[in-house]
Structure 1
Amino acid sequence: MPTVKLAKFNPMKWFQRRKTRRCLEVQEIPKGLARYGTPQASPRSAQVIAQLPGPILERIFSFVCPHAEDETYDSCEQSAVEDTCMLCDLRDLSHCAQVSRWWRKHATNVLYHSIRLDVVHYCELEDVLAEKRKHRSRLNRNAEPEDTAQARLRLLCRTLREDMGGFALKLQYFKTPYMQRETSKPDLARTAAVCPNLRYMDLPEGFFMDDPSCNTLKQEFIGRCPDIRKMSYMGGSERSLELLAGGNLWRNLEVLELSRLNMDPTILRQALGSLPQLRALKVTNMMPFTDRLFQHSEYLPPFPPLTELIFEKTPNVTADGLTTYLFRSDVQKALKTLSLKETGVHPSTLQQVLATAPKLEHLSITEDVTSSIPTGIPSLTSTSLLTLHYEITDAPSSNSYANTKTSYY
């Protein structure tokens, strides 16, 4: 039978994309960002690494991704690690988890201990990825730009909910950018619902003011996260703060911030007295916070001994009230940091406070004065103080020609 030679099939090229030079350039990665080849390890080193105990491996992994060890109660913006790209570090640690089952077990302990979701790469790789995303979006010119942070949050939420007995139990610190936590409240609620060991999470501002848009998130937080260590209450959340007075909610709180609250000082004292682990308190712009809260009462729990105490715009807190509080021996041993800004503690009475704070190490006072310091006021003395921030300025109502602040120095 004679051989029949078929003609070469030439399909229509209407739907074929021409590979232009620009398209090829998008796929190129700068030499400085290209992955290095895996070095050839000797059999001996491989045996040594395979025998490393789990705690040593986790310690090594913490250097691969430093922010995974972040246990501070600062927000995502305040706790950023300098001179590094946190998304790249997170990627490198996830690659370590793919080496072996032994490595995966201990790498995930570090990977899911403290998570932060950043919007962009803080390195040159962001330009490459942004160009790729722009190139993909050309197929749909009417599509909205991809929200990478939102996509990362949804993927993380799905992963945690699919492994509620594993990864979800490891998560203790969770930090997200400001705009992300303001626009992704449902995803934050779904994440909190499966993380019972959570100690800190960046939350939207409405959460601290009992905003109705945060009701679902707050209910999940109260019901599913009993080990929270930091909380804030702002104007409008007085009813939520009253829940602390019952003694059954968040008893492990260590840091508490109060701002613009208007409530009965007795209830406020009960709420503070029900937190045995409280070590830091910040009070801002609160007229009801007075010296009465520091006084002894047979019917109310004692004001907790604190390590750090910060007052801002609290004119009803005076040196007499702080001295009453510092007369207790447990308070004298505990208090290390005291910050006073626009309070009722006049600079002329500051030595009265220092005399009753033998362990105080950091002191800050910022005040506006209207008159010169009285004569006969003793100089400030302390045997424990390490840092002193002393800022006295003339009040707007004072005589501009008197220069009263000079007498305080």
Structure 2
Amino acid sequence: MKDLIDKLIGAVPFFVRRLVALLPAPKKAVLALDLESDSALEEAFTFLAVSFGIAFLAQLPFFVGEKDKELAFGITAALSAFGFALIVLQTALVWKMVGAKPAWRQIVAATCYFSGVSTLLCLFFVLVGQGIFKALDPTGYKQALTGSSADAMNLFSSNGFRIFLVFLVLGCVVTYVWIYWVWGAYRELMQVSKRKSAIALIFFFLFSPIVFLLQAATLMPTVAQPDGAAVPESLVGQWQFVQQSDGGGVRSARSVLYSFSPPRWRIMRTGEYSLEEMRGASNGRCVISTETKELGQISVHDSTIDLIPAGHIEWTRDQCTGKNSKVFLHPGKTEYQYKLNEDPSGWTLCLNDRFGQTCLTPKK
């Protein structure tokens, strides 16, 4: 890692000279280079590598958690290389579609320079948006970056998140404006008419969402993964609570059974839970009972458990009046502070909310 950083630092003067030439006049700067020379590709890839290196280092302060920085760099580099290869293939394809004969060496070299600059332009807007998001809503920012947000729709109520999205869109707009600005250089390299160049540009813009989705599909399993499992292994399983009381001529009982499961797929940041609760009371002559069943998603972060119901049903059976009822409810998210304790008798899971504490034990 250190050797790589040293090489990137050594290439900074070359990078700065090329960047200063590209920003005001990208078409003129690229066409002035001898892209067929033996050193053309090496110089182009050096420029691209420094651009990606700057982008990675600039985002380090925004990383969440104590991740292995070398591993993160390796993952980012692999994904960046994959994304660059897709852009090169997309560019060659659209020129082929309009009848041009792609000059691969020239396309790769030019794309290195143009992609390097577009990376930095987009990075500026992303960093500004992330900084504002983190300053206005630190909790929402952490949940968004780690993928641990229990309810994604709640993020849209965050002013910080909405501002971040605005800057993200601005970054995309600026990137497309840059592509439009530099497209003339490709036309000169491909030696085609302005009409064919315009058609190729339209095709490029039309294919861009597909390329973006391919990159996103590759990115999802590796980026925004929080340290540790989405649902800690220590929580997975069934936890029960049983309580009985007898007073005032009334006997009552309550049982609660929670089942916690990990995500079905690794890229998901929420697991699944189910709740079965039974309440009953008897005065010796008749019984009133209530049965509750609930299904939904569970999100765990730090010492907090969020339960997001997807379905909730309550059955009430009243033998005293002969009335029965079945109600479908839509309760909101429930948040618990949890703690796992171990003593000679085994494990205990204690859940705390505004109503108090409930401690459960593993179901046997």
- The bucket for the TM-score relative to the shorter chain is under 0.3
* Higher RCO (C-alpha under 8 Å, 6+ residues apart): 2
State the TM-score, normalized to the length of structure 2. Answer: 0.25
Structure with greater strand share of residues: 2
State the TM-score, normalized to the length of structure 1. Answer: 0.23
